[in-house]
């Protein structure tokens, strides 16, 4: 599962809270983020978000993100999925479509091909888009990184892109109003993911029963 949205929408907070909910249901969960999530990808993240002396041009930014993503997928995401661990990520490839394609205006065909090369089929079961007015999101931010420093039009294009993706693929991409308190938004996220949480609850019960049965075996 992945969380997307404009800057300041609460992605990191609600990714963490969802991971807590899943663990409470007995699910093994790995919480991660993009760009980043592993050592090399975190180094690339710093180049993307913090480099101001010689910041990457838009094409370089796209390629750096895919390099970080490929490393993240191979080193973190796929090994955990293969071992039965659920992965919750603060951003994934929908951010590339919103930021680098729709806001920066890069070639969508090339960007999608680069994404496919990086993710090798690793797609989230569900993506939550936390929707928030741009001004409100930016007002929540303290010290800003290079991406957050972009102008209002850029961030409006990002927001509109995420909203459009949710309209085009509502089964996979769930739009959640991110206004209000953390608890209010958390309830909306739970409602948007109710079928997946029900699946997690069933799996957690099955796991607990299996462990209980194994512990009851006399050796």
Can you give the pTM of this predicted structure? Answer: 0.92
CATH code for the part of the protein at 2-133+148-215: 3.40.50.300
Residue 25 in this model has a pLDDT that exceeds 70: yes
Could you tell me which of 145, 115, 138 has the C-alpha nearest to residue 47? 145
DSSP string, 130-165: EE--HHHHHHH-SS--TTTTS-HHHHHHHHHHHHHH
Handedness of CA 13, 197, 130, 96 (dihedral sign): positive
pLDDT in tens, 148-201: 999 999 999 999 999 999 999 999 999 999 999 999 999 999 999 999 999 999
Give the residue from 104, 98, 90, 103 showing the smallest Cα distance to 60: 104
Domain boundaries, the chain: 2-133+148-215
């Amino acid at each position: 599962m992945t969380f997307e949205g404009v800057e300041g929408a609460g992605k990191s907070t609600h990714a963490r809270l969802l991971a807590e909910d899943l663990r409470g249901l007995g699910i093994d969960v790995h919480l991660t983020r993009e760009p980043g999530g592993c050592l090399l990808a975190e180094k690339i993240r710093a180049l993307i978000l913090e480099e101001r002396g010689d910041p990457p041009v838009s094409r370089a930014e796209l390629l750096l993100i895919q390099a970080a993503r490929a490393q993240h997928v191979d080193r973190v995401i796929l090994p955990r999925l293969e071992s039965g661990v659920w992965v919750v990520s603060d951003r994934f490839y929908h951010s590339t479509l919103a930021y680098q394609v729709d806001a920066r205006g890069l070639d969508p065909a090339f960007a999608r091909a680069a994404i496919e090369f990086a993710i090798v089929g690793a797609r989230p079961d569900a993506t939550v888009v936390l929707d928030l007015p741009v001004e409100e999101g930016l007002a929540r931010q303290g010290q800003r990184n290079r991406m957050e420093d972009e102008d209002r039009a850029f961030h409006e294009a990002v927001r509109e892109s995420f909203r459009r993706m949710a309209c085009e693929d509502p089964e996979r991409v769930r739009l959640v109003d991110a206004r209000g308190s953390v608890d209010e938004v958390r309830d909306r996220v739970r409602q948007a993911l109710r079928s997946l949480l029900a699946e997690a609850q069933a799996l957690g019960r099955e796991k607990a029963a299996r462990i209980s049965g194994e512990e009851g075996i006399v050796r």
